[in-house]
């Protein structure tokens, strides 16, 4: 049996071989170089180990262990968690993943069950070395990485790369970085969930297989150093198909006719607008100006009267608290933030900010989620706040329950919400920068609104008929007024540019009109239109489309958009 001699710089036959076990119960052989006498060592089991009992893993050093080591991903998270745990805990950051597939090769053995080949990057070796040194002396080790598949995988990679003793290692999970949540997590630790780790590895392997197959094709056919991937290629196809739709679109002319009426006996300012809906009982064909002119001339001669009035009530329910995708969409519409910017700010709010309470505190729950669930404790706090701030009339009888709309939603976490509604945006504004404040205010308002009652509208729809010897015309108008603001006292939804306005959203109809009341035609308002092509994707609308089609996960939307741009 040979081993490498560091002095001779060559392999030598082991002299006086002795079968041994390392501190971590790994079989090995110890001996001397026959040329220079230097001690040599070779790992691996040999026939000489037969019948030998391996020592308990790490038993020799466990007696000297003391203290508790906690490993998280980021320094900011480490500072916040460390403040809650106290001096007996040492909290260190891995700064993300500590090992990954090799960048220079496929790193997946497709002939051997697609086994991945991992390596600790050079820039992460000092981190791993420090963690390995601390882990050797710690009495207990807690892996407190993020509560998703990626966080679970980071925890597993830490154990593997830093040679952490699994017998004293526990996994802790919390969805918000607050003192009660951290205390609850450390009171109920668990083992690493290998199902989640394997799910992350499968996704990573798929990404590598697809990317390494497609990227070289792009380099040859399009341009060098372009990136392709399992999900981003699908997103890019959506954009290309939309662009082709726009290029192939042929606009078609059409017209609409509206009329301004003044109820009999009303003041001049009490006019309202109604739209031509039927002509002789059928939908009018208003294809061009030539076809519209005779109708306008005939409508000028008609006598108009209100034929039907319908009054009603409409409820507008609050939206669910934010998920990752809805947060990115609303931040894009309202604040003009890119998905990447939104997630970076949300990460800062999640990991903790000093708001004058003796140290950093997490302001929002975990921001990578497809769930709209809310804890009972958070709902109870929100209901108490709403009742005291806005009154009992703004509270629904029971706390609302929302269902996730995303296809294939796993709902493993809570919705994105403030860790405490008592941290009102204005009260902590001085501790946040402008972008952090605007995003936190948006999250706070959306969550508080989601726990409030619906807004109530009084609706009014009117049918006006006009009669001439040649034709009978039916024009319709509808409007609504807010009777009770409900959740809208806190938050109103922002809409995409291509969103269709609700019927009667901007209409104003006099409240005192009556059926049978004659109407004076003030003017006709013909308008030429052309059908419009589908709009190009914005970041908000692309994220919505990805989610609706089950493409990607909450953690991947921002990287997808960043790559394809």
Condensed to tens digits (0 to 9), the pLDDT of residues 307-344 reads 999 999 999 999 999 999 899 999 999 999 998 999 99
Out of 84-88, 346-350, 497-501, the most confident range is 346-350
Structure-derived torsion over alpha carbons of residues 110, 114, 120, 121, reported in degrees to the nearest 10: 50
Q: What is the pLDDT of residue 405?
A: 65
- Band of pLDDT at residue 53, cut at 50, 70 and 90: confident
pTM for the full predicted model: 0.75
Pick left, alpha or beta for residue 122 (phi over 0 → left; psi -120 to 50 → alpha; otherwise beta).
Answer: alpha
Selection from 239, 248, 93, 274 nearest residue 543 by Cα: 239
- Give the DSSP H or E segment for 262: strand 253-263
Backbone angles phi, psi at 422, to 5 degrees: -70, -20
Largest pairwise CA distance in the chain:
122
pLDDT of 500 above 70:
no
Q: What is the DSSP secondary structure assignment for residue 98, as one 8-state letter?
A: S
State the Cα–Cα distance between residues 348 and 80, nearest whole angstrom: 11
Q: What is the mean pLDDT of residues 18-29?
A: 86
State the Cα–Cα distance between residues 271 and 520, nearest whole angstrom: 9
Digit-coded pLDDT (tens) for 100-115: 998 888 888 888 889 9
21 or 142, which is more confident? 142
> Catalytic residues, which ones?
366
- Band of pLDDT at residue 61, cut at 50, 70 and 90: very low
Q: What is the DSSP secondary structure assignment for residue 52, as one 8-state letter?
A: P
Q: What is the DSSP secondary structure assignment for residue 416, as one 8-state letter?
A: B
Tokens of residue 298, six digits: 């005939």
State the Cα–Cα distance between residues 296 and 256, nearest whole angstrom: 11
Are residues 4 and 32 in contact, defined by beta-carbon separation less than 8 angstroms? no
pLDDT of 260 above 70:
yes
23 or 307, which is more confident? 307
Backbone angles phi, psi at 458, to 5 degrees: -90, 125
551 or 161, which is more confident? 161
Q: What is the mean pLDDT of residues 146-174?
A: 92
Q: What is the pLDDT of residue 317?
A: 94
pLDDT of 222 above 90:
no
Q: What is the mean pLDDT of residues 145-150?
A: 89
Are residues 419 and 363 in contact, defined by beta-carbon separation less than 8 angstroms? yes
- Band of pLDDT at residue 501, cut at 50, 70 and 90: low
State the Cα–Cα distance between residues 558 and 153, nearest whole angstrom: 20
Are residues 162 and 98 in contact, defined by beta-carbon separation less than 8 angstroms? yes
Residues listed for the chain: 565
Strand-pair partners of 272: 261
pLDDT of 499 above 60:
no
State the Cα–Cα distance between residues 349 and 435, nearest whole angstrom: 11
CA 239 to chain CA centroid, Å, is 20
Q: What is the mean pLDDT of residues 455-467?
A: 94
CA 296 to chain CA centroid, Å, is 52
- Band of pLDDT at residue 466, cut at 50, 70 and 90: very high
299 or 96, which is more confident? 299
Q: What is the pLDDT of residue 412?
A: 56
495 or 548, which is more confident? 548
List the single range of 74-83, 109-118, 309-318, 500-509 with lowest mean pLDDT. 500-509
Q: What is the pLDDT of residue 43?
A: 86
211 or 247, which is more confident? 247
Sign of the dihedral defined by the CA atoms of residues 404, 406, 409, 414, in that order: negative
Digit-coded pLDDT (tens) for 381-426: 999 999 999 999 999 999 999 886 655 444 457 899 999 999 999 9
Are residues 273 and 490 in contact, defined by beta-carbon separation less than 8 angstroms? no
Q: What is the pLDDT of residue 322?
A: 93
Q: How many CB atoms lie within 10 A of CB 376?
A: 8
Q: Which residues fall within 8 angstroms of residue 222, CB to CB, at 6 or more apart?
A: none
pLDDT of 4 above 50:
yes
Q: What is the mean pLDDT of residues 133-161?
A: 92
């Amino acid at each position: 049996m040979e081993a490498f001699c560091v002095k001779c710089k060559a392999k030598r036959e082991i002299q006086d071989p002795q079968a041994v076990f390392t501190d971590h119960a790994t079989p090995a052989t110890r001996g001397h170089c026959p040329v220079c006498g230097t001690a040599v060592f070779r790992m691996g089991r040999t026939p000489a180990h037969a019948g030998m009992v391996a020592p308990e893993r790490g038993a020799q050093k466990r007696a000297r262990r003391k203290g508790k080591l906690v490993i998280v991903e980021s320094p900011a998270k480490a500072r916040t968690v460390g403040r809650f745990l106290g001096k007996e805990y040492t909290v260190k950051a891995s700064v993300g993943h500590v090992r990954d597939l090799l960048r220079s090769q496929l790193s997946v053995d497709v002939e051997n069950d697609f086994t991945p080949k991992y390596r600790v990057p050079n820039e992460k070796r000092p981190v791993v070395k420090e963690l390995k040194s601390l882990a050797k002396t710690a009495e207990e080790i807690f892996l407190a990485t993020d509560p998703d598949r990626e966080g679970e995988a980071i925890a597993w990679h830490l154990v593997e790369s830093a040679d952490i003793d699994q017998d004293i290692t526990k996994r802790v999970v919390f969805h918000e970085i607050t003192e009660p949540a951290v205390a609850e997590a450390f009171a109920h630790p668990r083992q690493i969930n290998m199902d989640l780790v394997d799910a992350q590895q499968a996704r990573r392997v798929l990404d590598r297989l697809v990317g390494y197959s497609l990227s070289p094709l792009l380099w040859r056919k399009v341009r060098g150093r372009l990136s392709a991937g399992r999900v981003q290629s699908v997103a890019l196809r959506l954009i290309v198909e939309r662009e082709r739709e726009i290029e192939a679109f042929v606009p078609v002319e059409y017209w609409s006719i509206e009329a301004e009426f003044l109820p009999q006996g009303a003041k001049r300012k009490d006019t309202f607008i109604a739209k031509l809906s039927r002509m002789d009982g059928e939908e009018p064909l208003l294809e061009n100006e030539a076809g519209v002119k005779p109708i306008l001339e005939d409508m000028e001669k008609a006598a108009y009267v209100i034929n039907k009035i319908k009054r009603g009530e409409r409820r507008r329910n609050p939206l669910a608290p934010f998920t990752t995708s809805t947060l990115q969409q609303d931040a894009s519409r309202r604040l003009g933030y890119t998905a990447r910017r939104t997630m970076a700010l949300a990460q800062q709010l999640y990991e903790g900010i000093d708001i004058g309470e003796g140290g950093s505190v997490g302001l929002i729950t975990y921001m990578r989620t497809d769930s709209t669930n809310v804890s009972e404790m958070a709902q109870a706090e929100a209901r108490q706040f709403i009742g005291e701030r806005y009154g009992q009339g703004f509270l629904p009888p029971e706390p609302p329950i929302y269902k996730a709309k995303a296809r294939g939603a796993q709902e493993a976490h809570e919705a994105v919400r403030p860790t405490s509604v008592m941290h009102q945006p204005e009260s902590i504004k001085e501790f946040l920068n402008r972008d952090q404040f605007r995003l936190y205010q948006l999250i706070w308002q959306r969550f508080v609104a989601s726990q409030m009652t619906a807004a109530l509208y009084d609706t009014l729809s009117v049918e006006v008929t006009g009669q001439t010897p040649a034709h009978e015309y039916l024009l319709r108008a509808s409007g609504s007024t807010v009777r009770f603001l409900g959740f809208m006292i806190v938050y109103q939804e922002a809409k995409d540019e291509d969103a269709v306005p609700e019927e009667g959203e901007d209409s104003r109809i006099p409240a005192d009109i009556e059926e049978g009341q004659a109407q004076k035609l003030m003017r006709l308002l013909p308008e030429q239109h052309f059908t419009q092509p589908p709009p190009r994707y914005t970041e908000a609308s692309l994220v919505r489309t990805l989610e609706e089609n089950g493409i990607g996960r909450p953690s991947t939307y921002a990287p997808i958009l960043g790559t394809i741009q």
